[in-house]
Amino acid sequence: MIKNYFKVALRNLVKNKVYSFINIFGLATGMSVAMLIGLWMYDEISFDKHYENYDRIAQVMQHNLYNGKKETQMSNPAVMAEEIRNTYGSDFTYVLQSSWNSSHILTAGEKKFTKNGSYFEPKVTEMLSLKMLKGTRDGLKEPYSILLSESVAKAYFGDTDPMNKVMRIDNKTDVKVTGVYEDIPYNSTLKNVSYLMPWELYLITNDWVKKMENPWGSNFTQTFAQIAPNADMNKVSAKIKNVKLNKLNKEEARYKPEVFLHPMANWHLHGEFKNGINTGGRIEFVWLFGIIGVFVLLLACINFMNLSTARSEKRAKEVGIRKAIGSVRGQLISQFFSESLLVVSLAFVLSIGLVLLILPFFNELADKKMSILWTNPYFWLLGVVFSILTGLIAGSYPALYLSSFQPVKVLKGTFRVGRFASIPRKVLVVVQFTVSVTLIIGTIVVFRQVQFAKSRPVGYTRDGLINIEMQTTDIHKHFDVVRYELQKSGAIVDIAESGSPLTEHWNSNGGFDWKGKDPNLAVDFPNNPVSHEYGKTIGWQFVAGRDFSRQYTSDSLAFVLNEAAAKYMGFKNPMAAIDETVKWNGKAYKVIGVIKNMIVQSPYEPSRASLFHLGQDEGNVVIIKLSPDRPASESLSKVEEVFRKYNPAQPFEYKFVDEDYAKKFGNEERVGKLATFFAILAIFISCLGLFGLASFVAEQRTKEIGVRKVLGATITNIWTLLSKDFVVLVLVSFCIASPVAYFFMSSWTQKYTYRTDISWWIFAVTGLGALIVTLLTVSFQAIKAAVMNPVKSLKTE
């Protein structure tokens, strides 16, 4: 009997090729979207889970009261790990100090590259359960050692054994390769750590750390911990809350630091904090795309249900005959479910092919390295269950509806589906287009928000600016001659040194005081040490005062404030700040200028109060303004030539400031592109179903159209007749989708301080677009029916 069910199902598919194609391809598209989103969600949820001690690893972080607000930071004093070990050692398996993941020049023989890595205490290999390909996990016990990732070892040594080979760090320190570990997976927070060096070596090469008079006063390192097997993460976190506060003097205690453990399980999906409270993070996108996946699959299922019920009248006699010769309703339901499962099975196979085809593009779009989990039994189990459920959902309404026909009425020819029979189909079409229109409106709002932030004035001129991060001091030592040669060549407008790149704050400090400041207010301002040429190079814009000048030796104790700092300090206007005194750790500085706010951190948030002063030490970053009168490639070649001449130890690597700035929009743009991708597929699936329904309606009303044409109806009359019902349904969908989309997108934009308005034209354009797409989809079948010769449709009468 089951064999017969599938044989009949296969015959029906072959007999109705167009409807079969629409059903199978529509379902396959929906299942492909669901599968892609499932792979994306799996990748997101499985972030960092490859570590054996995943559920017991945490990062030690702090809440501090800065500028009247509670802010959360990852950086800690260099003595944090040691203090926690000494005071709360029984609650932890490991507590490890580390540097920030940063770039260094690694040299081996003639090969010289800039790579990212970290200094860590030796037990990091155990905590992260690194898989050692060469050497052991004890490789960081020697102070002058280094562990390389597999890819870095391959880049430097090829197929030769790297063990015990000597490498040079930043052209200063020689270290010995004591191990090679398997690359950290791409879906890991620590994926960019391509080598590890001992924390002891960090203290040796940065001897100022041990000489600090107040080691608890500066936060410039990171701390990671693994709690003991029987310990509770929340309870241990509560225990260490005051570990830093207890070490601070009265002045520093104003920041009210609260130390806590941020579990590895929350690093990726729950990484956002606001006013000291974990407010979520990427988990919002996981839920969002999960819901989109369900809805897109639902759209495909609606197509199947709509087309199956639409063709019910054609299958009514089949049902009547089957019932007349003894078939019970259960057998008929089984018959229709078998057809549904056959369609879904074929769609599932096709969907895997589509996913294989789309996955490379999707990976690039989502910044992932995903693949189909061929060897994972849960993937196939989920696929089978997923297909069965989809088949049951998609086939439920047709099976229950078709099997309910009464054989007497059907075989007498008195069976009619009735004027209300199409209502369920219309409801389903409305649901389809409501989802599609909502997705389109959401996509437009996301891109509008990104463009709104991009159009915000940045406070300096990005064109032709490049950042070069320095790992050696050679350029600083020869700065004047380098500047002279480059300007003389005509390759640049100017060059400057800075403590931070233009798109990041690398340093912030407290200890500031000014007239009228609340003595109990704890402040923390980004302050950037720069060279005299900084302002001219970047083109910052003064609203009051002047720039740093070599003509004034007093500028060594001068500040340039941004507007946010001048306002925060209580000056009535920027001009009122000029010549005022601001003290920093007791030393008096004179305010000589106020500039427009520069966007350095998030373009969606207000600019932080910031100060600039002349730096005495070597610059961490060199900023160059390329000449607009020469091709960029030609200018860069000259810059590289001069840099190699005076800084041969460092590879010439640069970043365009405008490209770095554009990366700040990466997450929102990626969400927008993914939403666009899914919205297009949703519209495609909806139109596919609409095409099938239009085809059926035209076929069903063939004789009516013939009669109308004989009586004088024009092609336009026929087109209007067949199109108007679908237009009404789309308009109803638009009316439902608009308030729903407005509600959700208004809630989404609320998290941005600088946000776009949701204009009326977004809804108008979306509604008009949906209407045009609907008319184009329906018109093919409507016009085809309208131009048909009425003789052909009426000759049987």
Alpha carbons 81 and 119: distance in angstroms, whole number: 14
Above 80 in pLDDT, residue 335?
no
Structure confidence at residue 436 as a pLDDT band (50, 70, 90): confident
Could you tell me where the DSSP H helices lie in 212-269?
233-239, 264-267
Mean of per-residue pLDDT scores for the chain: 86
The reported pLDDT for the residue numbered 605 is: 86
Structure confidence at residue 280 as a pLDDT band (50, 70, 90): confident
Taking the whole predicted model, whether its pTM rises above 0.85 is answered as: no
Whether the CB-CB separation of 398 and 316 falls below 8 Å is answered with: no
Number of H helices, E strands in the chain: 26, 26
* Amino acid identity for residue 210 in this structure: K
Alpha carbons 612 and 260: distance in angstroms, whole number: 32
Q: Please state the rounded mean pLDDT for residues 671-683.
A: 85
Alpha carbons 153 and 733: distance in angstroms, whole number: 58
The single residue listed with the structure tokens 């608890």 is 216
The reported pLDDT for the residue numbered 430 is: 86
The reported pLDDT for the residue numbered 25 is: 85
User: Which pairing describes strands 611-614 and 525-530: parallel, antiparallel, or unpaired?
Assistant: parallel
Residues 6+ apart with CB under 8 A from 146: 167, 169, 175, 176, 177, 178, 195, 196, 197
Q: Per mean pLDDT, which range of 5-9, 151-155, 282-286, 412-416 is the poorest?
A: 412-416
Residues 6+ apart with CB under 8 A from 317: 410, 411
Q: Assign residue 213 a region (left: φ > 0; alpha: ψ between -120 and 50; beta: otherwise).
A: alpha
> Which of 429-443, 636-650, 707-721 is predicted most confidently?
636-650
The reported pLDDT for the residue numbered 2 is: 60
5 C-beta neighbours (distance < 10 Å), count? 18
